[in-house]
Amino acid sequence: MNGPSLDVRPEVRESLPRVVALESTLITHGLPWPVNLETALAAQAAVRASGATPATIAVLAGQPTVGLTADELEALARHRQPVKLSERDLGVAVLRGQTGGTTVAATLALAHRAGVSVFATGGIGGVHRPLPAPSLRALPDVSADLFALTRYPLLVVCAGAKSILDLPATLELLESLGVLIAGYRTSEWPAFHLSSSQLPLAVRIDTPTEAFALYQAHRRLAAGAMLLAQPVAPELALDPSEYAAALAQAEARAKADGIAGPRLTPYLLAQLAELTAGRSLSANRELIVANAALAGQIARLFATA
């Protein structure tokens, strides 16, 4: 998509390889106004404070754009009907002149085409848990994020997979797909709003320098992305039993309201924010910013490689 179909802003082009890609569905679908804009701006500021350049990615009126300005972030955050764009939706969005937020999968695709090597997000998508009551679906709902991680060889800083998902199944599928996963200062797979899923990881990394070295070795010998999983700060993590009860209630509401497909994740996150009196929202915001800061520290090392 290089050329007129991909708008890579001058600051991003001139800063490569010291750039951190940031996704935009957290702005359009993951967080409510004005937390969405505040979080997006804070993530960009965290990348800059770490010595790197942020590049928030979205599609604006049919134009895939790498490196949104503050004014464009606000316009996106205020947009009344933004589209949720996975990788498969990008061509349609261009053709129809749509404005939308890019998921992990779509952001990976556009960031890779722009020459960006580091990407920070909150929690990746994964294998959904079945909703209460029997389902007629023969196959589970699996996020395209997992398969995009096999195609685009970025270093992705995340807080594990979203805790609304089937975490053991998600981790198993990632391992089957050959995606390298390392815990950042943890030996367990983080669980987004929860500090741990109790699922062990084979690789632990304790410094940005180690993360950079592992990524370089991985790129020389294997394909696909590297996930660097950083848990949410302990003081922000939700109590597991309280969270499980809130999630069960949110899933029951989703079933009653007939919510499925791309609408399910934002619906459940909004319900959890209500059911936890905003604590899940606070955790979500802070882990996004923390991941952006860590990604910035690693991206800075690319400039000296």
Which residues form the catalytic set? 23, 162
Distance between CA atoms of 192 and 169, rounded to whole angstroms? 15
Q: Give the H or E element holding residue 101.
A: strand 100-102
What's the residue count for the chain?
305
User: Which residues, listed in sequence order, are joined to residue 53 by a DSSP beta bridge?
Assistant: 19
Of the candidates 36, 22, 90, 25, the one whose C-alpha atom is nearest the C-alpha of residue 266 is 25
Of the candidates 68, 64, 67, the one whose C-alpha atom is nearest the C-alpha of residue 16 is 67
User: Which residues, listed in sequence order, are joined to residue 205 by a DSSP beta bridge?
Assistant: 184
214 burial level (CB within 10 Å; 0-12, 13-18, 19+): middle
Tokens of 161: 């997979």
Cβ neighbours around 174 below 10 Å, total:
24
Q: Residue type at 149? A: L
**Backbone phi and psi for residue 266, each to the nearest 5 degrees, phi listed first:** -60, -35
Contact 128, 263 (CB under 8 A): no
